[in-house]
Amino acid sequence: MSKYKPTIGIEIHTQLATKSKMFCGCNNDSRGSKPNSNICPVCMALPGTLPVINKGAVEMAIKMAKGFNAKVANVTSFDRKNYFYPDSPKGYQITQMYEPIIQDGFVEILIDKEFKKIGIHHAHIEEDAGKLTHPDGADYSLVDYNRAGTPLVEIVSEPDINSPEEAKRYLQEIYNIVTALGVCNGDMEHGNFKFDLNVSVSDSEELGTRTELKNLNSFRNAERALKYEIQRQIDLLESGEKVKQETRGWNDAKSKTFSQRSKEEANDYRYFPEPDIPPLNLSNDFISEIQKEIDVLPSTIRKELLEIGLSVDDQDLLISQPKTAKIFQDAREILKKEKLIKKAVNWLVGDFQALGLDDRKDLTGKNLAELVKLIDDEEISSKIGKEIFAEVCGGEAPSKIIDDRGLVQVSDDTELEKIITEIIKNNPKPVEDYRSGSEKVLGFFVGQVMKETKGQANPSKVNELVVKLLKG
Ligand SMILES: [Zn+2]
């Protein structure tokens, strides 16, 4: 164990899944649109225009607050962050510097089977900038303002994170929460969820000089970049050098961080209250009305899944699919017994995932619970269960499918004995082998019975009867 302790703080930019942009009526989804086709005088800040707050974005932030165990500010306000750069049509960004809408929260991450609290200092609403591209070899740059004015919530953690693994878990947890709440589409390839990582190392109580790793957009790269950067800082300190406060990028191909700009050149943004937007009053009634709409929080589901001993990967899988998590909860409500609930989860993390989204969209918790019970009661074999599962996911009740097709499991001794006797009669050689000590041929007989009954025989029953009859 190194004597240096890393300290990590994370800023996450989540793009809100609203219909329109933050302060105008432009479509909030420009994917596939021609550059500069999804803009208007408001998001271009033409003289005489006024921004109007998107109510949907505020409601989404209020939901997020609940997911982050945070307070919603009763009075929240917007500010201007002034900077001059061609990706900003306004010459400033509207953000929340002084009274952010979400304050003082936390999430819990699961590390070595224990929950660790990571504080959320605050989260604020702001608008995104446009996008610059620099064509290869050209002596000009191109700007596309379609993204300008897109609503973002920036989530600022406390520096409570102490390892790359914790950082990754924190990012995944926040991702789970915002996607489960439906406030972010989570499309990481299109920049719906980006983050900056602040990291320092120290061998004392005093924090070391930090560097900032900018614009990462994959959990895996965040972990790798942090591992690299922590080691780089330790190596510097060990060789008697100092860590420079700077912004660094991550080069994925070289698996290295590299210096982008030093903090001495940092801008003074001259923040001041946005004069065109009065402070927003949010009553407790309004807040609780919106938070009531939240079905169930990912953290609650995680605790339920942990209780039945599900692995972290499978927990993540279910939590990252809110509809699947809902099926789980409904089935759990009906099944009650842990043994059966586990079986329901096995379907959801197994066969269910193999089906296309469209093919599985009609599975209900009720039908899943029924399927689990039918198999557990030995009404049908698990083989038949697997065969009809796709239909169950298409919305059909398992009991109806097996009734319609006469798939009820054959457990009736006399009927099975008749079939087995017939098979024994027709296969003298394997019978001979078995009686002279080869246990292996048992599988052959069981297989024959299953074939004969088209998989509808109860396998344990068949086994028992085959042994009994072979021993004669
Ligand atoms: Zn606009």
What does the pLDDT look like over 225-262, one tens digit per residue? 999 999 999 999 999 999 999 999 999 889 899 998 77
* Distance from Cα 45 to the centre of ligand 1, integer Å: 9
- Statement to judge: residues 85 and 225 lie in one domain: yes
Taking the centre of ligand 1 as the mean of its atom positions, its distance from the CA of residue 25, in whole angstroms, is 6
- Between the CA of 41 and the centroid of ligand 1 the distance, in Å, is 6
- 87 and 224 share a domain? yes
* Domain boundaries, position 187: 5-281
**199 and 317, same domain (yes or no):** no
Indicate if 229 and 357 belong to the same structural domain.
no
Q: Are residues 163 and 255 in the same domain?
A: yes
pLDDT attached to residue 1: 52
Confirm whether 289 is domain-assigned: no
Centre of ligand 1 from the C-alpha of residue 30, in Å = 11
Q: How confident is the model at residue 290 (pLDDT cuts 50, 70, 90)?
A: very high
Q: Is 356 or 20 the better-scoring residue by pLDDT?
A: 20
pLDDT at residue 456 tops 80: no
Taking the centre of ligand 1 as the mean of its atom positions, its distance from the CA of residue 150, in whole angstroms, is 9
How high is the pLDDT of residue 122?
98
Last residue of a domain, one of 405, 436, 463: 405
Calculate mean pLDDT across residues 281-293.
96
Query: What does the pLDDT read at residue 312?
Result: 84
Residues 422, 396, single domain; the answer is no
Residue 411 has pLDDT above 80, yes or no: no
Choose the final residue of a domain: 405, 425, 441.
405
Neighbours of ion ligand 1 (CB under 5 A): 24, 26, 40, 42-43
Shared domain for 204 and 155, answered yes or no, is yes
User: How remote is the CA of residue 42 from the centroid of ligand 1, in Å?
Assistant: 5
Distance 19 CA to ligand 1 centre (A): 12
Q: Does residue 97 belong to any structural domain of this protein?
A: yes
Calculate how far, in angstroms, residue 90's C-alpha sits from the geometric centre of ligand 1: 12
Residue 253 lies in a domain: yes
Q: How high does pLDDT run on average in the chain?
A: 92
Which of 385, 405, 425 delimits the end of a domain?
405
Task: Give how many domains the chain has, as a whole number.
Answer: 3
Q: What percent of the chain has pLDDT over 70?
A: 98
Residues 417 and 461 in one domain: yes
At residue 82 the predicted structure's pLDDT band, cuts being 50, 70 and 90, is: very high
- Mean pLDDT of the region 419-434: 88
What are the tens digits of pLDDT across the range 95-146? 999 999 999 999 999 998 889 999 999 999 999 999 999 999 999 999 999 9
Are 107 and 40 in a shared domain?
Answer: yes
User: How far, in Å, is the centroid of ligand 1 from the Cα of 24?
Assistant: 5
Q: Does 431 lie in the same domain as 384?
A: no
288, part of any domain: no
Residue 455: what pLDDT?
77
Ligand 1 centre and the CA of 221: distance in Å? 33
The answer to whether residue 286 sits within a structural domain is no
How close is the Cα of 266 to the center of ligand 1, in Å?
Answer: 30
Assigned domain for 183 exists: yes
Q: What is the pLDDT of residue 250?
A: 92
Question: Looking at the structure, do residues 257 and 299 belong to the same domain, yes or no?
Answer: no
Predicted confidence at residue 414, as pLDDT, reads 80
What's the CA-to-centroid distance between 268 and ligand 1, angstroms?
27
Q: From the CA of 124, how far away is ligand 1's center (Å)? A: 21
Query: Which pair of tokens denotes residue 80?
Result: 């201007």
Q: How far is CA 68 from the centre of its chain?
A: 15
CATH number where 430 lies: 1.10.10.410
Distance from Cα 274 to the centre of ligand 1, integer Å: 18
pLDDT tens digit string along 132-191? 999 999 999 999 999 999 999 999 999 999 999 999 999 999 999 999 899 999 999 888
Could you tell me if residue 94 is inside a domain? yes
pLDDT of residue 209: 94
User: What is the distance in A from the centroid of ligand 1 to the CA of 15?
Assistant: 16
How far is the centre of ligand 1, averaged over its atoms, from the C-alpha of 82 (Å)? 20
Section 380-384 average pLDDT: 85
Give me the percent of the chain exceeding a pLDDT of 90.
Answer: 66
Q: What's the 27 CA to ligand 1 centre distance in angstroms?
A: 8
Ligand 1 centroid distance, CA of 147 (Å): 9
pLDDT at residue 195 is higher than 70 = yes
Q: What is the pLDDT of residue 263?
A: 64
Residue 210 lies in a domain: yes
- Check whether residue 398 and residue 421 sit in a common domain: no
Q: What is the pLDDT of residue 442?
A: 85
**SS3 letters across the chain:** CCCCEEEEEEEEEEECCCCECCCCCCECCCCCCCCCCCCCCCCCCCCCCCCCCCHHHHHHHHHHHHHCCCEECCEECCEEEECCCCCCCCCEEEECCCCCCEEEEEEEEEECCEEEEEEEEEEEEEECCCEEECCCCCCCCEEEHHHCCCEEEEEEECCCECCHHHHHHHHHHHHHHHHHCCCCCCCHHHCCEEEEEEEEEECCCCCCCCEEEEEECCHHHHHHHHHHHHHHHHHHHHCCCCCCCEEEEEECCCCEEEEEEEHHHCCCCCCEECCCCCCEECCHHHHHHHHCCCCCCHHHHHHHHHHCCCCHHHHHHHHCCHHHHHHHHHHHHHHCCHHHHHHHHHHHHCHHHHCCCCCCCCCCHHHHHHHHHHHHCCCCCHHHHHHHHHHHHCCCCHHHHHHHHCCCCECCHHHHHHHHHHHHHHCHHHHHHHHCCCCCHHHHHHHHHHHHCCCCECHHHHHHHHHHHHHC
How far apart are the CA of 149 and the centre of ligand 1, in A? Answer: 7
How many whole angstroms from 26 Cα to the centroid of ligand 1? 4
